[in-house]
């Protein structure tokens, strides 16, 4: 598994443009979810966005994919400004995403993957209703490609199975495969390994790295599993209270005092790519943050545990009470 | 597009799993569905030779309803958009056909207008007209979702009724307007012309001739809807139903697809309406009331949401029930013939009670509808969801507003 940025020799036939986020601000009725956040995703790299719960990571994803509109700032994908476009136009420009909770549609894995081919296909209502030859040709061709992608994501043997019958980890991979089916230039993964067991996590992180290596596309990753982030990310942006507090390569981030204070807790960040045992932080809450509002989520201080994740991976547990 | 399609993943060989044969259905099961469809079609083909006019008439109404229900199912079952205005679009198709095929002239005291087009052309135009009317509603049908659209479409039924009563030169007003029969180059779908037509010793009158025409229309409707559902538009519509946000980030323009579903559903309703007009020989405004819209909703819920077969089965069930009850009113307990002085429930009311009960039972025990029961999957769609969702009121996605 390579950690450094890939050489662009293997990059696919289409150029992956740079994704540039400039001074994006999002407010929800007085709460500043993102405060002038900016970062740049180098083509073909894995860029992780990390931060404590409530830091603005998902908001950031929603701005990138057009689900939310930024109050200020711009997002550019190559020469296109995404900030004013509706989500389906952004998707057509080659930006695909997955969701923190799994959002699949009814039907089989194949149905879901073919939905991912929507922007790449053209069959309209009339042609499909009449089942014109070109419609079945198109369907057959894209189904083949969807099957390839399913096999790439180790879903080949459940290609025709209803998604509702698949176990959790597989459904998450279906979501990722569906995003890949869009042949995206930029792939946004929102907590791709949340709730997975160690084996599934390892499989998925391998898959993510191999997507970058073999497809050459950019990946933006929100993840709480620090082991995974430090292992596969090329660059990391750290958010806290909607502000960017650090940005750089994983090794620097691990040493950055602001990050340690805000996120990792203080402590000897000496652990290496051992994967599932990242922030063995000594319990020290971030009381040195004077302007912390009352809704501050818990500082991730698993002082007496060896929990693999700094944060509880379960999305439903974001409102965990502050340990005393 | 094709250049991007062909861009293959240059992946390391070891990540390429051996191609699994898709878990093919056991050979027998693969033939169950086409086999069943063929059998049903064969039975329907020979039916006019064996059953009485009553059953033919009832069957014709069921076939017309099936076409309308297929359309409504595309909108409500597949796209999750509630419509209470289906009766309005049935009326559009019925009156559209009657007007396009009708001649202008004076009938009694009423001056009627109409271009007097050939009936087949009139039928096509009626379907297109209904689609256009559905399209005119798209600023509303594209923006409102689920229940809210249902309430908005309610208005259509009442506006339609008002127009039908007052646009007298087109609709004939309260007393309605007689229907020009369908005709193919001199062969009319009536009791005469050609007179005394017999096939295998059976007199072939209006009902028999209409029967085969209706059968063709039902097959076309079912086949096109089946293709739509299995193809790209069907997947996009299903995605709009299951999650608007996911649909939009997959590149589906949600509002456009919602309007498109509405237009397509209207066109099916238009075809059904025109067929109903041909069966009735006369269209009257009062038939196209709110109760008719509710009947169609009952059909798709009882039959099975989101399934073409379900729509057909539900249409047959809901249409035949009152007819069968009135036919056997003498022998059934509690049911009395219409207009009978005995105390009891009329067949119409009895049928409504029964399919009211059927809806409740289906919602409670078989969210997949009758078709779900037939397939041995009472739970319906395999999402583990036990509830039938007709109109969605809120998006279930956590968009992470907490960041």
Which residues share a beta bridge with A22?
A: A74
pLDDT at residue A147, as a whole number: 92
Are A126 and A76 contained in the same domain? no
Give chain A's residues under pLDDT 50.
1-13, 267-324
Number of H helices, E strands in chain B: 16, 8
C-beta separation of B125 from B96 below 8 A: yes
Are A122 and A112 contained in the same domain? yes
Q: Give chain B's domain count.
A: 1
> Considering the domain boundaries, does residue A208 fall inside one?
yes
Name which of B127, B221, B227, B400 to mutate to probe chain A: the one with the most chain A Cβ atoms within 10 A of its Cβ.
B400
pLDDT digits (tens, 9 = 90+) for A74-103: 999 988 889 889 999 999 999 999 988 888
Are A253 and A148 contained in the same domain? no
Fill in the DSSP letter of residue B79: T
Name the residue in chain B with its Cα closest to that of A210: B11
Identify all chain B residues contacting A214, using CB atoms and an 8 Å cutoff. Answer: 9-12, 15
Are A164 and A291 contained in the same domain? no
Residue numbers of the domain that contains A115: 105-182
At residue A280, what are phi and psi to the nearest 5 degrees? -80, 70
Are A190 and A175 contained in the same domain? no
Name the residue in chain A with its Cα closest to that of B19: A156
Fill in the DSSP letter of residue A119: G
Q: Give chain A's domain count.
A: 2
> Considering the domain boundaries, does residue B303 fall inside one?
no
Are A155 and A221 contained in the same domain? no
Q: Classify strands B187-188 and B103-107 as parallel, antiparallel or unpaired.
A: unpaired
pLDDT digits (tens, 9 = 90+) for B248-264: 999 999 999 999 999 99
Torsion, CA B210, CA B212, CA B214, CA B220, rounded to 10: -150
Which residues share a beta bridge with A27?
A: A32
Are A219 and A316 contained in the same domain? yes
State whether residue B178 is helix, strand or coil.
Answer: strand
Q: Assign residue A90 the CATH number of its domain.
A: 3.40.50.300
What is the DSSP secondary-structure string of A249-278? -HHHHHH-HHHIIIII-SS-----S-SS--
State whether residue B110 is helix, strand or coil.
Answer: strand
Cβ–Cβ below 8 Å for B400 and A61: yes
Residue numbers of the domain that contains B52: 48-289
Identify all chain A residues contacting B252, using CB atoms and an 8 Å cutoff. Answer: 88, 115, 118
Are A262 and A188 contained in the same domain? yes
Which secondary-structure segment (H or E) carries A246? strand A243-248
Interface of B with A in 202-221 (CB under 8 A): none
What sign for the dihedral angle of Cα B239, B241, B243, B245? positive
Torsion, CA A48, CA A49, CA A53, CA A55, rounded to 10: 170
pLDDT at residue A324, as a whole number: 36
- For A210, the closest of B11, B247, B260 (CB atoms) is B11
From the number of C-beta atoms within 10 Å of its C-beta (0-12, 13-18, 19+), residue A22 rates as: middle
**Averaged over B29-58, what is the pLDDT?**
84
The complex's ipTM? 0.75
pLDDT at residue A177, as a whole number: 92
> Considering the domain boundaries, does residue B171 fall inside one?
yes
Fill in the DSSP letter of residue A317: G
> Considering the domain boundaries, does residue B305 fall inside one?
no
Are A178 and A227 contained in the same domain? no
C-beta separation of B211 from B45 below 8 A: no
pLDDT digits (tens, 9 = 90+) for B129-155: 999 999 998 888 888 888 888 889 999
> Considering the domain boundaries, does residue B277 fall inside one?
yes
Cβ–Cβ below 8 Å for A86 and B253: yes
pLDDT digits (tens, 9 = 90+) for A160-217: 988 888 888 888 889 999 999 999 999 999 988 888 888 888 888 888 988 888 888 9
Q: Report which of A36, A15, A38, A16 is spatially closest to residue A25, judged by C-alpha positions.
A: A36
Are A177 and A195 contained in the same domain? no
Name which of A56, A107, A126 to mutate to probe chain B: the one with the most chain B Cβ atoms within 10 A of its Cβ.
A107
What sign for the dihedral angle of Cα B352, B355, B361, B367? negative
B345 interfaces chain A, CB cutoff of 8 Å = no
> Considering the domain boundaries, does residue A99 fall inside one?
no
Are A26 and A114 contained in the same domain? no
pLDDT digits (tens, 9 = 90+) for B349-372: 787 788 888 888 888 888 788 888
State whether residue A259 is helix, strand or coil.
Answer: helix
State whether residue A247 is helix, strand or coil.
Answer: strand
> Considering the domain boundaries, does residue A100 fall inside one?
no
Q: From CA A134, how far away is CA A127, in angstroms rounded?
A: 8
B227 interfaces chain A, CB cutoff of 8 Å = yes
Fill in the DSSP letter of residue B175: G
Q: Report which of B168, B177, B135 is spatially closest to residue B287, judged by C-alpha positions.
A: B177
pLDDT at residue B67, as a whole number: 95
Q: Is the peptide bond before A66 cis (omega within 30 degrees of 0)?
A: no
Q: From CA B70, how far away is CA B162, in angstroms rounded?
A: 27
Q: Indicate the residue among A148, A165, A182 that finishes a domain.
A: A182
Are A196 and A75 contained in the same domain? yes
């Amino acid at each position: 598994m390579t950690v450094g940025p890939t050489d662009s020799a293997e990059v696919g036939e289409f150029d992956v443009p740079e994704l540039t986020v400039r001074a994006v601000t999002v407010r929800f009725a007085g709460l500043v979810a993102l405060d002038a956040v900016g970062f740049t995703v180098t083509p073909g790299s894995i860029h992780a966005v990390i931060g404590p719960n409530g830091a603005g990571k998902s908001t950031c994803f929603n701005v990138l994919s057009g689900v939310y509109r930024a109050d200020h700032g711009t997002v550019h994908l190559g020469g296109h400004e995404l900030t004013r476009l509706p989500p389906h136009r952004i998707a057509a420009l080659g930006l695909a995403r997955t969701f923190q909770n799994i959002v699949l549609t009814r039907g089989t894995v194949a149905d879901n993957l073919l939905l991912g081919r929507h922007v790449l296909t053209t069959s309209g209502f009339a042609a499909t209703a009449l089942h014109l030859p070109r419609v079945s040709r198109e369907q057959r061709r894209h189904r083949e490609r969807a099957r390839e992608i399913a096999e790439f994501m180790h879903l080949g043997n459940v290609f025709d199975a209803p998604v509702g019958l698949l176990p959790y980890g597989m459904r998450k991979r279906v979501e990722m495969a569906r995003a890949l089916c869009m042949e995206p230039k930029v792939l946004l993964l929102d907590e791709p390994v949340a709730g997975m067991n160690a084996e599934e996590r390892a499989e998925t992180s391998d898959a993510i790295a191999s997507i970058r290596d073999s497809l050459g596309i950019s990946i933006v990753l929100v993840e709480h599993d620090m082991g995974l982030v430090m292992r596969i990310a090329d660059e990391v942006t750290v958010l806290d209270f909607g502000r960017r507090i650090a940005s750089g390569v994983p090794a620097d981030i691990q040493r950055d005092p602001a990050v340690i204070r805000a996120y990792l807790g203080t402590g000897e960040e000496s652990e290496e790519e051992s994967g599932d045992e990242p922030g063995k932080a000594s319990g020290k809450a971030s009381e040195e943050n004077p302007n912390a509002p009352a809704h501050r989520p818990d500082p991730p201080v698993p002082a007496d545990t060896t929990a693999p994740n700094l944060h509880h991976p379960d999305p439903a547990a974001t409102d965990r009470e502050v340990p005393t | 597009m094709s250049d991007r399609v062909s861009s293959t993943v240059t992946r390391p060989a070891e990540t390429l799993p051996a191609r699994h044969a898709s878990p093919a259905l056991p050979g027998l099961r693969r033939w169950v569905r086409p086999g069943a469809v063929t059998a049903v079609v064969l039975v329907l083909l020979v039916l006019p030779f064996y059953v009485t006019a009553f059953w033919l008439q009832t069957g014709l109404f069921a076939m017309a309803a099936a076409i309308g229900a297929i359309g409504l199912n595309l909108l409500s079952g597949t796209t999750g958009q509630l419509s209470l205005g289906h009766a309005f679009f049935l009326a559009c198709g019925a009156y559209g056909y009657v007007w396009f095929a009708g001649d202008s002239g004076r009938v009694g005291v009423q001056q009627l207008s109409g271009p007097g087009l050939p009936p087949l052309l009139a039928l096509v135009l009626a379907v297109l007209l209904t689609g256009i009317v559905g399209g005119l509603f798209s600023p509303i049908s594209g923006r409102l979702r689920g229940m809210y659209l249902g309430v908005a479409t309610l208005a259509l039924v009442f506006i339609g009724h008002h127009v039908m009563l007052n646009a007298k030169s087109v609709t004939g007003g309260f007393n309605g307007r007689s229907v020009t029969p369908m005709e193919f180059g001199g062969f009319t779908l009536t009791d005469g012309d050609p007179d005394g037509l017999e096939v295998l010793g059976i007199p072939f009158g209006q009902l028999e001739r209409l029967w085969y025409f209706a059968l063709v229309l039902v097959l076309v409707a079912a086949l096109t809807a089946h293709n739509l559902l299995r193809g790209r538009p069907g997947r996009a519509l299903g995605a709009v139903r299951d999650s608007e946000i996911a649909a939009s980030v997959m590149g589906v323009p949600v509002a456009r697809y919602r309007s498109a579903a509405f237009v397509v559903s209207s066109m099916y309703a238009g075809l059904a309406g025109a067929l109903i007009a041909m069966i009735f020989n006369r269209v009257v405004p009062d038939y196209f009331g709110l109760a008719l819209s509710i009947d169609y909703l009952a059909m798709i819920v009882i039959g099975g949401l989101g399934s073409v077969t379900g729509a057909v089965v539900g249409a047959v069930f809901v249409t035949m029930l009152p007819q069968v009850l009135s036919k056997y009113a003498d022998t059934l307990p509690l049911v009395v013939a219409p207009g009978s002085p005995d105390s009891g429930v009329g067949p119409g009311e009895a049928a409504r009670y029964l399919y009211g009960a059927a809806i409740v039972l289906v919602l409670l025990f078989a969210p997949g509808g009758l078709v779900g029961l037939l397939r041995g999957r009472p739970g319906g769609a395999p999402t583990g969801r036990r509830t039938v969702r007709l109109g969605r009121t809120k998006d279930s996605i956590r968009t992470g507003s907490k960041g």
